[in-house]
Chains A and B, each alone.
Chain A
Amino acid sequence: MMQAQRLGSVRPSMILGLVQKARSLAAEGKPVIDLGIGEPDFTTPDHVKAAAIAAIGADETRYTVVPGTVALREAIRGKLARENGLDYALSEITVSNGAKQVIFNALMATLSPGDEVIVPAPYWSSYPDIVAVAEGRPVIVDCPQEQRFLITPEQLEAAITPRTRWLLLNSPSNPTGGVYSRADLAGLAAVLARHPHVHVLSDDIYEHLMFDGHRFASILEVAPALKPRVLVVNGVSKVFAMTGWRIGYAAGPQEIVTAMNTVQGQSCTHAGSISQAAAVAALTGPTDFFAGRARSFEARRDIVVAALNAVDGIECLVPEGAFYVYPRCAGVIGRRTPAGEVIGSDTDFCRYLLEQHFVSAVPGAAFGLSPHLRISTAAPAEALRSASARIAGAVNALT
């Protein structure tokens, strides 16, 4: 067996498995509405595309420095200062192939075998797997719907041990769209102040997709003293619709960033040179389209939340950001499909939705908290209405 032992606890991506199934059904001509993948349905802005084409024409095709070009790190520094009031030196910033690679580098660089990472559930499905590859131990803390899927200060205090290295915070959240308010973050910061050995990885990737007038806040805004222990992670994938360009970045303590660059230097070397040039244009160019994109997702959220809350057996919190809805489907567990199969879990429910009603959603099991399902609202409004109606029909057909 060629597989390394360290992959033993790493799960194949459930999300990608369902996406594959959805595509197979679509290829058979079934009218699948795919709400599984977390990718915005906008396009990369024209000025960003133009910058990439210009970079190709200027032969910016050679190796760049490992942490990312000076121009891009300057752009990131400018963005962090301008939008977040944060001041970082260039050597405290690193660029990787997507925020996922950034997180991978951070954990590979800082975890020794057995080190613990607190992962509030529901979580972005890759967090615990990346911790496992880095030979750390994910400490899953269940954060149910009743507490808005957010970790509480009491839960954080209870989860911290001498082996704790990181707390992973993701706000707005994938999969829930939940947002930590300034008060929520202040409560967590007070706990962290008592445990100086714990660092925070603040995954801010959905920062610009906030709804209902809420303003994004990072933990560093409420507790600037935590700066030596916080790694701010972000990227251009979501609001700029640049998922395929693979540019993510982090800003944080020099020692950690340097160690991350060491990992990167011996893995992928650096993010693509053309993508880096495009990202410079994104981060230094116009941002007036952000509000429009956020409003679009907000409107689509409203469609799905209203429709699902009308379904007996499904309860849906109103997400405050990102482009996901994470309804609880406890009311369908134990019921039977028209074919007589028992819905024993959210996974069973999602399989039923896909195979019988051609709606692809991701079960809560993939995100560590069941029974839920994640619906991506990155689809046309009409598709979301149709999908919601099919879900309602699917639930009504259960006995």
Chain B
Amino acid sequence: MRGADLLIKTLAEAGVTRIFSLSGNQIMPVYDACIDAGIEIVHTRHEAAALYMAEAHAQLTGEVAVAMVTAGAGMANAMGPLFTALESDTPVLLLTGDSPVAQDGMGAFQEMPQTAMAGPLAKLSIRPLRAADMGRDTARALRLAQSGRPGPVHMALAFDVVEGDAGEGAVPQKSAFAREPMPAGAGDLAALRAALAGAARPVVLAGPVLTATRFDALAALAGALDAPVVPMESPRGLKDPALGAIGQLFASADLVVSLGKKVDFTLGFGSTRLFDAAARWHVVQASAEERDRAHRNLGDRLAQCVAADPRDVARQLLDTGAGSARAAWRDEAAKLLAARSTAEVPEGRISPAALCAAVQRQIDAAPEAVLICDGGEFGQWSQACVQAPARVINGVSGAIGGGLCYGIAARYARPGATVFSLMGDGTAGFHFAEFETAARQGIPMVVVIGNDLRWNAEHQIQLRNYGPQRTIGCELSAARYDLAAAAMGGHGEFVTDPGELDAALARAVQSGKPACVNVMIEGLPAPAGPAH
């Protein structure tokens, strides 16, 4: 048995049935091992796409997803999405081909300090040195990826390790790669419940692992705690237009509970300019680094800091039974979060809001739907204006471009769902070639491009900060993305008339192909929540 076989058998034992990958010579032994293990390889047109797909797959299934790329620049290409998965608390395993251990220091082909590169961007970055250790190390990687604060783990696969004889190596027992629960102790839980009971206007902030897509009891938690529970996963933080006038909510809260929500820039670092100085904070974080950050940013306002897994604590809190004395506060919070303001557009032009409304009609008509929101300005529109039972967004890292990849993975994760991936025209360009992947793999999805002929987020920044006479470097052409998608085996629709939107989207859904609906929209700034 080769090291590659031990690796793949361990993954199969852990339930992995699919690896997102882009091939390369260093990982050919692993490709070969997948055949006999019955693990599907979904191969992409760029290494970053493979890891983006793994990220979305993990979020939608709740399981560790695996991406595999080759050495050298291939590995380097995956570093961006590695950071993205770290910031979105997503458990992924990134396997990267590597030069042989036996040639370390000799100047081997694509010899590169991989663990030094990936280490700061992952929970763990390791390079097994013996084929026999592949089972143990793979199990460790899977266990760590999903335990505590979930996140990416990187394993460099030296060629002579995957090709080498695994000898005595064995697939570990299941418990070796299972998640390690970290519930709160009874004392901590009691203190948290007491704080909630004594508050008039508590707000519970949930981190990316506790969004409605990744945690199935969000509404029940809000009811159990008799408090608004607000998941936050956007890089725009308080300015996320999907969160309405959340700043007003924060300014009135007398207790803030963070369940895995970092006290970072998205919360104004917990500043008293945003949160009343008298409000007390209770933070639940599995990561020591995040607990340290909470101490640093909150000082004496941090009343309790619990080393526990927020997912486990959320489940523990489900039987709190706080009653309904704060119904008025929860209603107020709901109204504040729902606040929106939008702008008018000239007649005959398609507004971002109108496009979102048309997509919403398709989502509402689908038996099951997944929504992907990606991009700068139009990405914010879709986050603010479109709802679906399951959603993946370009998260806190602020990266854009993974939307097409997320969409493909979403269809794998939810085979019966209609996938709608919304993005701007700038964003669509990053991984446009994945239309070929989707067509080749037979993945139907609807990619909606809100096309305003520019990098609108940056254009809006230039308008605000420098004025309309000083815009530069943000204009894009009227390239026909719909025709390009069709040429790659997909379906294309080009829409300029508001009256054509519904029909074009319907055709895209019915095409059964990866469809590109290229819609010319008025380039407006994202709907500013009234507090922005």
Interface residues of A (CB under 8 A from B): 60, 62-67, 69-71, 73, 89-91, 254-255, 257-259, 261-262, 265, 269-270
Contacts and interface: CB of A to CB of B under 8 A. Distances in A.
Nearest to A72: B276
Interface of B: 201, 245, 247-252, 254, 271-279, 328, 332, 335-336, 339, 530-532
A91 B248 CA distance: 6
A66 B251 contact: yes
14 contacts: A62-B277, A63-B272, A65-B274, A70-B254, A89-B328, A90-B201, A90-B252, A91-B251, A254-B332, A255-B530, A258-B248, A258-B336, A258-B531, A262-B531
Contacts of A90: 201, 251-252, 332
Contacts of A91: 245, 248-249, 251-252, 332, 336
Contacts of A258: 245, 248, 336, 339, 530-531
A262 B252 contact: no
A90 B335 CA distance: 13
Contact of B272 (A64, A71, A262, A265): A64
Contact of A269 (B273, B275, B532): B273
A399 B277 CA distance: 66
Nearest to A92: B332
Nearest to B248: A91
A69 B276 contact: yes
A145 to B, nearest CB: 42
Given A70-B252, A89-B332, A254 B245 contact: yes
A257 B247 CA distance: 12
A270 B274 CA distance: 11
Contacts of B531: 258, 261-262, 265
Nearest to B276: A70
B336 A254 contact: yes
A69 B273 CA distance: 10
Contacts of A65: 250-251, 272-277
A257 B201 CA distance: 19
B151 to A, nearest CB: 33
A62 B272 contact: yes
B221 to A, nearest CB: 22
Contacts of A69: 276-278
A262 B341 CA distance: 13
A270 B276 CA distance: 12
B279 A70 contact: yes
A91 B531 CA distance: 11
Contacts of A254: 245, 248, 332, 335-336, 339
Contacts, number: 76
A293 to B, nearest CB: 32
B530 A262 contact: yes
Given A65-B250, A65-B251, 19 more contacts: A69-B277, A70-B276, A70-B278, A73-B252, A89-B252, A90-B251, A90-B252, A90-B332, A91-B245, A91-B332, A254-B245, A254-B332, A258-B336, A258-B339, A258-B530, A261-B247, A261-B531, A262-B531, A262-B532
A62 B273 CA distance: 9
List the 6 closest pairs (A to B, CB-CB), nearest first: A90-B252, A65-B251, A258-B530, A70-B276, A63-B273, A91-B248
Contacts of B276: 64-65, 69-70
B203 to A, nearest CB: 12
A258 B339 CA distance: 10
A111 B201 CA distance: 32
B278 A261 contact: no
Contacts of A73: 252
B206 to A, nearest CB: 21
A376 to B, nearest CB: 37
Contacts of B250: 65
A143 to B, nearest CB: 35
A259 B339 CA distance: 11
Given A64-B272, A65-B272, A66-B273, A71 B339 contact: no
Contacts of B339: 254-255, 258
In the complex, which of the residues A71, A90, A265 has the most CB atoms of chain B within 10 Å of its own CB atom?
A: A90
A71 B248 CA distance: 15
A269 B271 CA distance: 13
Contacts of B251: 65-67, 70, 90-91, 261
Nearest to B245: A258
Contacts of A261: 247-248, 251, 531
Contacts of B328: 89
A65 B271 CA distance: 9
A76 to B, nearest CB: 12
Contacts of B336: 91, 254, 258
B271 A63 contact: yes
A70 B530 CA distance: 20
A62 to B, nearest CB: 6
A71 B252 contact: no
A69 B278 CA distance: 8
A2 to B, nearest CB: 17
Contacts of B245: 91, 254, 258
Nearest to B249: A91
